[in-house]
Structure 1
């Protein structure tokens, strides 16, 4: 199955594709949907540039009522980074006064591989919208996230086949007192995912984000090492859910979780897409499910053997 798909909702609002210039359809109320704005660079001769689409959007709806924006394809993904998107959002801050959620890079595989999505420094969006509550980015190439201060951000999500260690360090060094939900797809080194356990250490030590209740450290080629670190991490005590899915989790990492601190206080534990054998998977279920923990161990990861060497793969890379 594909783990990189268009968002269906944002900020609790259904995603709605803002129609093309020739469409004749009634638009919903500005605050009733998450507006998905995207262009098709491979369309016909009437193709609309993203800048024109953006201006038409702001002229077609009440900007002061818009609560959520999902930015999809804005041009050739490998020729145009997201800096233009960031600039337009920043420039519109006095018009988009109700904006509470933004997601940049909502492209699925048919539009571009996740590593083809050229990002940029996205933190000016947080600076421009001090009341923003949700922020997400897809694509790690060119992504920058220097440490920020933001009083109201509750959800922060990075989806990548390789998340730069610089980004992880920026997130961990940020001051986000309201942050409840943090998700990072760490990816593989081949596609820029060079974050280490040392980069994650301040986060796992607790105290960095006092309101944090969900932690997702996903899609990593060092998932076993992460699981072992999480097994003894103080931050786990404050969580209600933990997500270590999509990566290269084997019996070694699963055993570390079983041998670490109790996880029975969690509402759910996501270990989808794994390389855990059934006997070990059953041990996890027996240890947690009687306490009411919902455990997801579905989906076997892709692997192959070459001259006695077993190669295992994260769910998302290129």
Structure 2
């Protein structure tokens, strides 16, 4: 960050070029559609391609589950104190998928992020019998239950996790980031502003990979035909040429900024291929913030440092939330 913030193009290693300039970022991401290996959620699963028609069905199903969850009144007595993002993740898992069989809900466990082998061991065991659902099961679980053969059930359970887990992971992490960066918040600060600013400083998609492609050399001679390109919103979100006080948490800046039109602001990717979950993230994240703020919860004053691992989902490892 300190070496390259403010630069537009720079070499990261022998075969990778980093890009943070807003104009070149737009040109690169507009040059061609993402391939199936560049899509973060719906890249091939165990060597099996995920057609866009299947991805669309999955998105529609989890979207239906989110809309149903948002229609239920938010309990003002929900105890969301404790270690975040874990607490928020469990809340969302139960809100969206509480009626699903245990062998599906266990696939939401955050511990499975440690190794894919553990995930696939659970899926292999869970796929042996057919999936039986209760009437209150989620729409995404009903898609999973349609699989007939063992191999199809393994594939369907893998898709269940691929689709539902990012919703729980991303939203709980985003809210944890917002709490760490700015709580306690002024009463008149809108939740949307808080979330937009949290995503600026700690963007959920902090990098966007594009594999080597001849289109990119034509756009900038510093990119060779063999170079992979790593777009870095983590840097463009802190570019001093774009943002006033770029390293400061200032949610009021969003009073006058349209997040969909702001150059260099890519928390959900580029306009050419927005993250499919963006319309689910904001309302669910606002719901969580409403509960936290309404119950007077904030970061424990005993916690003065936090770790932010450089993983696929950029977030504070643990935030201790308590009532003051």
Q: Give the structure with the higher percent helix.
A: 2
Q: Which has the higher strand share?
A: 1
Does 1 or 2 have the higher relative contact order (CA < 8 Å, sep 6+)? 2
Q: Would you say same fold, with TM above 0.5?
A: no
TM-score scaled by structure 2? 0.25
TM-score (norm 1): 0.25
